[in-house]
Amino acid sequence: MENILENFDILCVDENLLSIKDKLLNNERLDFKDAEMIMDTKDLNSLGLLAKYKKLLKDGKKIYFVVNRHINPTNICVIANSCKFCAFGQKKKSPDAYEMSIDKILSLLDEELREIHIVGGLHPDWKFDKYLEIVREVNSAMPCAHIKAFTAVEIEWFSKISGYKIEKVIEKLMNAGVDALPGGGAEIFAPEVRKKICSPKTTGDSWLNIHKAAHKLGLPSNATILYGHLESKYDVIDHLDKLRNLQDETNGFLAFIPVLFQSYNTRLKHLKPFPFSYDLKVHALARLYLDNFSHIKAYWITLGEKAAQVTFHYGVSDADGTIISEKIIHDAGAKSQIGHTRDFFVNMIKDSGYIPVERDALYNELKIYD
């Protein structure tokens, strides 16, 4: 591996980053104080070098992507209008409410897909068996694709409406064909901030416990953070610290995904957007602090395609996927395209100086475009 830190001491203008460099070279874990220095730095070039060094250590110049599709079976949600950051959920009688039939869901599938991402609202009338049927039918139609389905928020809801314990819910989902859990619903673990943006939602502790239960049953998952709203730098660091601690215990997380808050169509639209430097710091911090996570993902849906490319130089090793159709973030006002092709990702990654690697949901390498 090229020694990109060879002249770091000469180029670095923030002395605080020198101690972080030394820890990286000595393979020492960063602590809370180190994370504070990263969030406070104005030396973005040096920070990028540190995060890139860590990324290169883990997987060289490979940047992963997947041919996937998002399916949101319904936007009808019992807590619609309660989560201030969400513009997706609707009450049942809303003119914008919808629910998909099984046939409609199956019509969205394509043999090219390697990952099918299924999340949606907490429908007041659908039984748990309905969700199991969706998974079984998708699994039957697409046996070669992985199903990544249902956030911890949905799993807690399934437990409530079925009477099953969380572990039983997860087991039934696995038996139906779920291969991994998405990372949604984590938002921000800080209780006071969580109360302000999504008070009726699953607590941060419950989210962690549900993912812990999934990992112990052999079901891997992703993890996320929703940033760029009311959180402080301490809330971000605390969020990452809790995830790192759980990963130490279970090693069940596949990737960490920073999700930039989209305010435009929400009840938090009065909030002033954070500068792009904040996006870079959050992604770089994730790569440097989450030393036990294999991948940091750039969620281009919220960042935008060009900004996502920049994060490749700040520790990111995954460009997410084609997605094809996404509603939750776009309903909130995301300006990115709805979806992209395989060729788009190959060119996007190559143009950034990296090697595109097509993967499945579990990070098995399917094709290297060198």
> How many other C-beta atoms lie within 10 A of the C-beta of residue 335?
10
- Please report, for the chain, the start and end positions of each structural domain, with discontinuous segments joined by +: 59-368
CA dihedral sign, ordered 209, 213, 218, 221: negative
pLDDT digits (tens, 9 = 90+) for 252-288: 999 999 999 876 666 666 778 889 999 999 999 999 9
Fold of 59-368: TIM Barrel (3.20.20)
Instruction: Output the CA–CA distances (angstroms, integers) from residue 137 to 21, 104, 147, 168, 214, in the order listed.
Output: 50, 11, 11, 20, 22
> Model confidence at 336, in pLDDT bands (50, 70, 90)?
very low
pLDDT in the model for residue 2: 61
pLDDT digits (tens, 9 = 90+) for 20-44: 999 999 999 999 999 999 999 999 9
d(C-alpha 301, C-alpha 307), whole Å: 10
Residue 228 token pair: 């760029």
Average pLDDT estimate for 45-58: 97
d(C-alpha 117, C-alpha 286), whole Å: 23
**Which residues are bridge partners to 206 per DSSP?**
none
**Which residues are bridge partners to 99 per DSSP?**
74
| pLDDT over 90, % of the chain | 81
pLDDT in the model for residue 117: 96
pLDDT in the model for residue 264: 65
d(C-alpha 35, C-alpha 240), whole Å: 10
pTM of the shown model = 0.93
Average pLDDT estimate for 233-242: 98
Asked if the model's pLDDT at residue 174 lies above 90, the reply is yes
pLDDT digits (tens, 9 = 90+) for 77-117: 988 776 665 666 678 889 889 999 999 999 999 999 999 99
